[in-house]
Amino acid sequence: MTEQGSPASEIAAGYASEGAALELGAVVIDGQADAAAAVRLPLATLNRHGLVAGATGTGKTKTLQLVAEQLSAAGVPVVLADVKGDLSGLAAAGEPNDKVAKRSQELGDDWSGTAFPVQFLSLGTGGKGSPIRATITSFGPVLLSKVLGLNETQESTLGLIFHWADQRGLALLDTKDLRSVITHLTSDEGKEDLKGIGGVSAATAGVILRALSNLEAQGGEDFFGEPELDVHDLMRQTDGKGVVTLLELDNLQSKPALFSTFLMWLLAELFEELPEEGDLDKPKLVFFFDEAHLLFNDASKAFLERIEQTVKLIRSKGVGVFFCTQLPTDIPNNVLSQLGARIQHALRAFTPDDQAALAKTVKTYPKTKFYELDTALTSLGIGEAIVTVLSERGAPTPVAWTRLRAPRSKMGSIGDEAVAASVTSSDLHAKYAETIDRESAYEKLVAKVAAAPAPGPSPDAPAPAPAPAPGKDEPGFIESAMKNPAVKSFMRSAASALGREITRGLFGNRRR
């Protein structure tokens, strides 16, 4: 039992919570966990975002599992990127063993194995989960530029290409649609279409097309298309529990930019789709952004600014975002400053760069008289973390060396057969399994070329006789022009385009 006025009780007092809270673990002082000194994360502050960091093998994945299952039990849906494939254990009850029993006894945790509702999704059609897609139009030029690795000049050109397609209501559903639009805009006819708003140079178009080809070679064409994911399918409940959505990323290394940028697209879609909520007793959704460093690597200034804006603004929609990575320094300072909860597993300090990262990490924590943080951060055991969160009144809690609870679900994969059985029985599989290829920019531009009029008369042919000047009973130029079927068709198309022009949100993603 914690002695009144002891260091453990003093730290734990900062984690007292009147409302519902997640139970993370217990305070550790001098290597001993005090079961009565609980470390909690208030549900009401989860939309203030957070960070889970630490070196490989220090227990980050188990921490994600621990937090996800408590959120699910509280009725909060969760989205998790399953990078290594071992989070599928959330769907099965954990089995007792000596390690779990010892950890539970140390922390005063009445542990019992529990399963949670899970739905399995995969990016594109090549994974084990139900396939999910996004259209090129919806993805937008800013996010797509990140995927394609374009510089700022090329990103600007891609933005012009999207603008032209948006004005004409041309749906860019998949990669062949974008390819056909770029090809058209670099043709003689396309150059005329772009007069007045700029142009697309052949060299820049070539770079974009080559980058698009590389993406297709990596399987990107299987991801872009329809039916497009409806983000409301991520916000479901079953028997009062929030559904945990696991995004399969087991071949992450083959196209890391696509995976990380897709997660950012999901956040942007949630921001555009969800209404303003203000402060809630618990979040509507918590989103875990694993391998977060991939999102920020080689990102343009515009891209980073939009991430910062999204993180700032999406909390008013009731969505919490946790970035998961090895080092806090992987996250830009402007984003890091927005993260209220910090769960920092052990850091390694083997190299000068590691030592510099450690020193920077220490400076981001509140001052504490109970720990030497530079020593503590390199001395943490597996399943231990240095924690500070926002209290219910919005102030940082005292720094707590925390021994974390064991997850109640299975720690490891449930196996491919069990995943496949879950997927085939899911209503999402029926909704998203079959690819749809409806008429879009590619088909419309191909039809336009096929319907193009034959070439005009040869330059050597005699010129047609000049038209007589309009007399009293003859129609004027404007009236004659408006009777011309070609002009009437153009005017109808222009008016129609004005009515269906696509508008774009904060991240350049399409607004419905």
pLDDT for 196 equals 62
Range in 8-12, 131-135, 416-420, 474-478 the model is least confident about: 474-478
**Please, which contacts does 347-352 make with residues 24 or more away whose CB atoms are closer than 8 Å?**
347/54, 347/55, 347/377, 347/378, 348/55, 348/378, 349/378
| Entry pTM | 0.84
What pLDDT shows up at residue 124?
A: 82
Residue 454: the pLDDT is 47
Per-residue pLDDT, 482:
40
Range 419-423, long-range pairs (CB < 8 A, 24+ positions): 419/88, 419/120, 419/128, 419/129, 420/128, 422/91, 422/118, 422/119, 422/120, 423/120, 423/128, 423/129, 423/130
Please tell me the predicted confidence (pLDDT) of residue 483.
46
Average pLDDT, the chain: 85
In the numeric block, which tokens belong to residue 18? 């009147």
Residues of the chain with pLDDT > 90, as a percent, come to 54
**Cα distances (Å, whole numbers) of residue 385 to 1, 341, 407, 445:** 22, 12, 15, 57
User: What is the reported pLDDT for 500?
Assistant: 47
Q: Tell whether the model's pLDDT for residue 464 goes beyond 50.
A: no
Which pLDDT tens digit goes with each residue over 198-241? Answer: 678 888 999 999 999 988 887 778 889 999 999 999 999 999 99
Residue 293 near residue 83, CB atoms below 8 Å: no
Cross-strand bridge partners of residue 32: 29
Asked if pLDDT for residue 105 goes beyond 70, the answer is yes
Residue of higher predicted confidence among 132 and 446: 132
pLDDT 10s digits, 302-327: 788 888 888 989 999 999 999 999 98
Indicate if the pLDDT at residue 481 is higher than 60.
no
- Return the structure tokens found at 99: 């390690």
What's the full length of the chain, in residues? 512
pLDDT band at residue 342 using 50, 70 and 90 as cut-offs: very high
Both tokens of 266, joined, read 């999901």
pLDDT at 470 (0 to 100): 43
- Which of 9-23, 175-189, 287-301 has the largest mean confidence? 9-23
Contacts of 230 (CB under 8 A, 6+ apart): none
Q: How confident is the model at residue 19 (pLDDT cuts 50, 70, 90)?
A: very high
CA distances (Å), origin 354, targets 346, 348, 379: 12, 6, 14
What the block records as the tokens of 270 is 């949630």
DSSP, res 344: E
Q: What confidence tens digit (pLDDT) does each residue in 361-417 have?
A: 998 899 999 999 999 999 999 999 999 999 998 899 999 999 999 999 999 999 999
DSSP character string of 214-243: HHHHTTGGGTBSBSBPPGGGGS-EETTEEP
CA–CA distance, 325 with 361 (Å, rounded to integer): 13
On the question of pLDDT at 52 being above 60, the answer is yes
Question: In whole angstroms, what is the distance from residue 510 CA to residue 504 CA?
Answer: 5
The β-bridge relationship of strands 400-404 and 384-388 is: antiparallel
- The predicted model gives 76-81 an average pLDDT of 95
pLDDT reported for residue 320 = 95
Residue 87 pLDDT: 92
- Taking the C-alpha atoms of residue 448 and residue 243, their distance in angstroms, rounded to an integer, is 46
Looking at residue 296, its pLDDT comes to 86
Nearest-angstrom CA–CA distance, 376 and 388 = 14
